[in-house]
Structure 1
């Protein structure tokens, strides 16, 4: 009875926190369209004709068209590419195969604006491709809609890769064998048997790619330095940094951005609603990659993999490193950009210190909130667990620019000043927004680990008189130590380079590392921006490595000398 009671108390508390951090800012964006000015002391019915102005105003319409084009194109190509690579990786083993797995995760954790900046440095009119390789055609290939779809495809395919690769973990050979006995070729078997069974994974991967693409702020922010390609996220950002501030424009464009994501989720639900895909049974076996019969085939796959990784990893990340070590006024390699970075050490130090402090605070607070969200989802009998699960995922789907606008509406209220809660224009609003962005990742990591801890352990501790917090601190936390560290570090690393939120919410004269890098890039200081990226990223990786080593140290082996055996 007590465990049920505490589960409900925790559930209501978690639901209230998630509502405040995620659902309320999102609702504020929608309310602003219906009641413009309501958050600034003016109550009036909105002019809903503004929603149709998106089809009459050239910039608004171009932003919508570009986002839809980029989203649909990237979804198609990234899903096909990720699914093909996942099928290849799960079927065959070859040299350098592990590099593909590592590269997929590297692309996932690297901020999109850093990847995009690498492509700009490589393909711009005076970029690395032209100056060092003589590929003048690269500029025309990349800086046009199809080229941007190609860049996004090579950045977003890991989302589809992981969903399909996970679905291929188990197989039921009797379906394949039955199809082959009926005369089906390997291609026919894959097309008519395996592919239909993988549809949920393909739909999920496609939805993730679409949501991540249409809400991406890093690509348009980086591309804007050399190519005009407005999208909904970037136009929302521009509306907040023009004079006068265009809250009406930001609200309308945010509405359509949320609408696109809602349509994508609805399409997936409708596509899978009346279909059954459960096929695992007692005859299912774990899939194992086979070695190709011909050695030449294995080497061919290895060569293709190396060439592919040279493009998807070597160009964006290699360009950042290369540009940081070269200069347009000097031949060969130089440390000029790092020297300038040290001369401007106050700017770098301020931005890096602010980003690390905000990320550390947000990571710790999000870890506590995410832990209790996972607890409610795993162990409690809270009646609104499904709502908690959905809300905890909303910030993963909603772009950071939309969430940032919602935070402006909520935390920029004059009456909050009486309670000391006027957070807009202070670093605390960045902390709250970073917490909201980190909760989905932390919750998923901890939920997976909690699923391995049986509820009987908590019940046994309760029977021995342990209270709720004591059960948490003495049973769950020690068993989940590794997952807690991994979740916290993942949230910390992602928050440091969150460009969308910090670009919208950073207070005056309060620079953060992503803003420092992006401003240098907008000023066409490519080498300086690359040096700041390498320096800041290297320091963040070092911090993560040190914390990992500190908390994952193995205990020293016990001495084999005399032991006290008295009781």
Structure 2
């Protein structure tokens, strides 16, 4: 590796360390030395770690989070596994709809999905008022019901992981076993299950990590159901008076510890996996049309209506009703909530600023998407085309923020960037929008890197080596050779990063500057104040706006790429 590559590698490694790993490290240090980051150095407080088993709120938060995550991971993996198996083997009309719904649920902010379920299943919700099904309320607002709701929104993680493995035809191994006298159950137990087990373990782990770090569900439930979790209790500890950094630090420590154990389980499972069946004879499983295709279409459609239709449909319906419990009649329909939204007059001064919040959120997400794409481009280049000694660190840093919840990163940012000694240097970023941009970059980096690694993997290094021999610098090789060939992946990386940044409720809640409006906070605050019509109207407009922006940017990108290709061919 030459000096120029070393500079690029060192630069992006330092950025990832500051943006991602340093905040996490600060959280762990605060557990050992509480008050260190605020000039109140105390003796080691490792004894506080054991207090979680004696303090009721701390203990209940840990118990609730673990119960919810274990239940969701198990049930969500079962759902994802069944759907992935069906999708991989059979060809039916609703299959594409299933894929689209999985991606929508994967991208959709959890707090909006949870709010839809609250409006549907609460005591004065639509299912009670319109259908009279009172049992739904008692079912949903209890631990098993919360596992059910979260599983319906988290199953895509398991579905996509298992789907990738289920598409390969491994029946030849089963045929060999049958020829040697094995019965069908023995074939499944000794051949099919061991080969599929790593994908199920990966799916289970991904759902578990995403569930235990989720902030949206407890934030939405706080208005109607008391169910403290680690993430919400961490947030409450920071924003109560007096601030409880000791409590936040201990709970964050346990959250990080659980996530580290989950990631270790994932790595061990993958390391022990068998991939030798993916040899030159491996072929994709050929999908066939089932005999009773209508059963598959009907079953999948009903499932998708429940998993996506209920929360999204409920929010859309409530946004058009004067009173959610007023029933379906002409006199109860209204567009007033949308008028209030765009007029900036919600009848409550605490809800003003939606349009301003939308502008701020879109601008912050756009900046985070652009910078994360650039950083991801350099990281992907270093991982693919160099032999840098920093590659393990780049790989680690680019994955860590995918597993670490926003509330943990938020606390770390407060510890790091709220230091008085940074003020003369102009680096006291806490309370400034720039810190939200950095947080958005940290959250978007894993997506930007993974998207671009896929495109980089298809490129040959021969051209780059030839250009280097001719004296081309690293920047020139990136700009003139790699960039034109992976430009489509760069656009996808920007759009993926933009979509994941704009609705981040956890980081917006913890890092919001004073008197600074942000779109997720406006929606969450309106929901908290029981202004459901206003909140749902804001949800519909926000999601529609983001989807429209992504579609338009895709179209513009295709036109620009076509124009550039035409210009080169002249």
TM over 0.5: yes
> Is the contact made by 1:74 and 1:210 (CA closer than 8 Å) also made in structure 2?
yes
Q: Does 1:17 align with 2:24?
A: no
SS of residue matched to 1:359: helix
**Separation in 2, partners of 1:262, 1:464:** 46
**Separation in 2, partners of 1:272, 1:493:** 29
Question: Among 401, 407, 416, which residue is 1:401 paired with?
Answer: 407
Match of 1:100 in 2: 98
TM-score, with normalisation over the residues of structure 2?
0.94
**Separation in 1, partners of 2:537, 2:27:** 37
1:544–1:557 distance in 2 versus 1, CA, 3 Å: closer
Residue 118 of structure 1, CA deviation = 0.8
After superposition, residues 13-92 of structure 1 pair within 5 angstroms as 13-92=11-90
**Separation in 1, partners of 2:283, 2:300:** 27
After superposition, residues 154-553 of structure 1 pair within 5 angstroms as 154-184=152-182, 186=184, 188-271=186-269, 273-274=271-272, 276-292=274-290, 294=291, 297-328=292-323, 331-332=329-330, 333-344=333-344, 347-553=353-559
Deviates more, 1:5-14 or 1:183-192: 183-192
**Separation in 1, partners of 2:552, 2:279:** 44
Residue 244 of structure 1, CA deviation = 0.8
Deviates more, 1:132-141 or 1:24-33: 132-141
Cα-to-partner distance string for 1:206-235 (whole Å, 9 max, x where unaligned)? 111111000000000001111000000000
**Separation in 1, partners of 2:148, 2:24:** 31
Q: Which runs of 4+ in 1 moved over 6 A?
A: 556-559
**Separation in 2, partners of 1:442, 1:275:** 27
**Separation in 2, partners of 1:392, 1:88:** 33
Unaligned runs of 5+ in 2: 346-351
1:184–1:129 distance in 2 versus 1, CA, 3 Å: farther
Unaligned runs of 5+ in 1: none
Residue 398 of structure 1, CA deviation = 0.4
Cα-to-partner distance string for 1:413-456 (whole Å, 9 max, x where unaligned)? 00100110000011111111110000000000001101111111
**Separation in 2, partners of 1:384, 1:21:** 17
Aligned residues: 556
1:306–1:187 distance in 2 versus 1, CA, 3 Å: farther
Residue 277 of structure 1, CA deviation = 4.5
- Give the CA RMSD over aligned residues: 1.9
Question: Among 144, 150, 153, which residue is 1:152 paired with?
Answer: 150
Cα-to-partner distance string for 1:73-106 (whole Å, 9 max, x where unaligned)? 1111111111111011101111211100111001
SS of residue matched to 1:99: helix
> Is the contact made by 2:140 and 2:146 (CA closer than 8 Å) also made in structure 1?
yes
**Separation in 1, partners of 2:373, 2:467:** 24
Residue 270 of structure 1, CA deviation = 4.2
**Separation in 1, partners of 2:161, 2:37:** 41
SS of residue matched to 2:367: helix
1:557–1:19 distance in 2 versus 1, CA, 3 Å: closer
1:184–1:131 distance in 2 versus 1, CA, 3 Å: farther
Residue 167 of structure 1, CA deviation = 1.1
> Is the contact made by 1:170 and 1:284 (CA closer than 8 Å) also made in structure 2?
yes
> Is the contact made by 1:180 and 1:189 (CA closer than 8 Å) also made in structure 2?
yes
SS of residue matched to 2:58: helix
Cα-to-partner distance string for 1:483-515 (whole Å, 9 max, x where unaligned)? 000100111111110001111110110111000
Deviates more, 1:347-356 or 1:322-331: 322-331
